[in-house]
Amino acid sequence: MESNKTSQEQKPKVGSIKNKIVAQDLEEERKKANFDIKELTESYFGGKEKLEQHNDHISVMENDPILRNTEKWYDMTREEQIEHNFKRARRTYEINKEKYYHNYEVSYIPWFSAMFQGIFPFGLTMSMFSLCIQQLGDDEQVAKWLPLVKQMKMIGCYAQTELGHGSNVAVILEQVQYFQGLETTATFDKEKDEFILNSPTITSTKFWPGELGKFGGWAVVYAKMIINGKNHGVQPFMLQMRDTETYETLPGIECGDIGPKFGYASKDNGYLILKNVRIPRSNLLQRYVNVDREGHFTIKGDLRSLYSVMMFIRVSIAIGAAKTLGVALTIGTRYAVVRRQFSTQDGTKIERKLLDYQTHQFKYTPLLAYTYAFNFTSLALMEMHQQLLKDMKTGNFGLLDLAHHLSSGYKASYTRICYDGIDTIRQSCGGAGFLAWSGLPTLQTDYAPNTTFEGDNTVMHQQSARLILKTIKNIQRGFKPTGIFDYFNKFEELLSKKGQVKGSADLLCLVNLENALAVRSAFKIKTTAMKMATSQLSENEKANSAFSVDMVSMAHAHIMYVTFKYFLNHIENHPYKCPKVKENLKNLARVYALTELLQDSVSLYETGFFTVGNAQHLLEAQKEAIAIVRPQMIPLVEALAVPDSYIVSAIGNSYGDIYETQLEWAKNSKLNQTSVLPGIKEHILPILHGKL
């Protein structure tokens, strides 16, 4: 009877990493590719050269027994993970210290993000700490300290956030006072030509900075500079915290790790308490400010430069959102085409692939659309930020407001969608997704801080909203904005569009979708601006009490429209040789816009752009758009080029092995190394034997 089964009734062959067998279902999905995957991958990474650099990092990691990522990571304690990554940091230094350290230039996508499970121990040293010196130190300070950082003779951190002051330390570009919440003080002692650093209150304790508590020996400390009793605002100071020989803390310094967290277990997030710690006057970072021997304070540039380092991190976070969501999609989508559940297919008893359920496609396809849109938009922001850093050195701050607006908005919108997306994927994988072996729980918890650090997302949307409102006021004075704000000039035209959708086909037109997102944003901006303009409340009350929710909603709608525009611009202008690449990206752009409109289209009904019945048209259009993408899901996901050695997943590997490896890793887990657990004989058997 078995031999008489039709091919349709035979279960597809399963994948096996051990035997190098690719699951039949995964093989078949790959064969459906109708575009040049390599060309899309190169574009996704920002060019062939960047992709080659990434692959080189991966190759080094895969071929070294100390650097190689393994499932054992998931079974380590926090202390074991930290020590393991210390070993790996040392190993990279041994392999090629010039490449990875001495000649390393700060990057938005650093080499260690591709090579390390968990969090690289010295990522802040090689990013924010290094950038502080480069951007805020004068030439003499850069020459003195930067080579030591590159040689790993100075391991440092960016000590800004305090126990009582989180997002309110961020620069508000429209105001004169910066970092106004910080309490740490740096008081100038003219007699000894020194600054005295103090943490005067419990809330002034530096709290949360990475590499502050245990890893770092140095810190750029942000503190209120006080000279002759006058507060000259928050300034950055170089502080040595630990003895270079013993690594013990120096007198007057108390620091340590803040303890267990929701994720980020392998990173040292620390606290710092300062008690009359003296540093030379020359430790004030002096590219933009100066204090002479007599205590005279002068400004040599624009104080907004102090914000440049944090902005760099926000740009990096925006880029990281797309990359991280792509990792989760790689795991989840592969699992979804190999895992079959329930015999619901007509004409066969073979169970249906998870990804062939419409509900599953509605979870995954929008996330894939967001991944590509966020990636290409963030790459454009990265180029803008690079130009800004060059301009600032010559005193040109023209791009600062725009870069601040976009980096704040992208950070807020992208990280929330990414975090929620990872959770959606984890849940959709059922019990397998809940297992650490899937790679998803660690990915989710390690990504979780992104929604909070470098600015709470709500505050970041409020920051982003400021330039929107400022632009509206400028328009009322006769100014005509350009670039991403060009559509502000067309608000009346956009808001006058009525009954634009007659059926679902109209919602598959990219022009109509662009107009819909523009109208949604325009309506929220105009109504918010009008409410604030006619309110008799103070500007403070308007922004923080009466209309803060309006501002957040407005900013998010604007950011998602701008993202769509950048995505379309990339599709139209990038010189793809394979026309099918553009076709697939356009399909994803449709899914992106329809997802946004399904989530929030009230404004479109308010304006009359949508009318009764359009809600169903939206849903039917999304069904059609997602169905078009479905055959290309695996090729589009695998164009993200996430290697097995990076994801370390028992359910998302390139072999489609979702059973054999999962069971093998379970058998080899730490808890199964003894037949009887410690404590059973001492505490439980006496109960079972009635001896208590």
Buried b (16+ CB within 10 A) or exposed e, 156-185: bbbbbbbbebbbbbbbbbeeeebbbebbbb
Instruction: Confirm if 593 and 513 have CB atoms less than 8 A apart.
Output: yes
Please give, one letter per residue, the 3-state secondary structure of 546-569.
HCHHHHHHHHHHHHHHHHHHHHHH
Write out the DSSP string of 335-396: HHHH-EES--STT--SPEEGGGSHHHHHHHHHHHHHHHHHHHHHHHHHHHHHHHHHHHTTT-
Phi, psi of 651, deg, nearest 5: -125, -10
Pairing relationship of beta strands 253-257 and 230-240 according to DSSP bridges: unpaired
Instruction: Confirm if 112 and 316 have CB atoms less than 8 A apart.
Output: no
Binding site annotation covers 210?
yes
Which residue has tokens 């100075």? 154
Q: Which two tokens stand for residue 682?
A: 């001492």
Burial of 290 (0-12, 13-18, 19+ CB in 10 A): middle
DSSP-assigned beta bridge partners for residue 573: none
| Nearest CA among 335, 327, 330, 324 for reference residue 448 | 324
CA dist 173 and 457 (Å) reads 17
Q: Which two tokens stand for residue 27?
A: 């093989």
What is the phi-psi region of residue 79: left when phi exceeds 0, alpha when psi lies from -120 to 50, beta otherwise? alpha
| Nearest CA among 318, 331, 335, 408 for reference residue 370 | 318
CA dist 265 and 442 (Å) reads 10
DSSP-assigned beta bridge partners for residue 159: 221
Instruction: Confirm if 397 and 391 have CB atoms less than 8 A apart.
Output: yes
Residues marked as catalytic: 454
- How many beta carbons lie within 10 A of that of residue 358, not counting itself? 11
CA dist 291 and 284 (Å) reads 8
* Helix, strand, coil share of the chain (percent; to 5): 60, 10, 30
Known binding residues for FAD: 161, 210
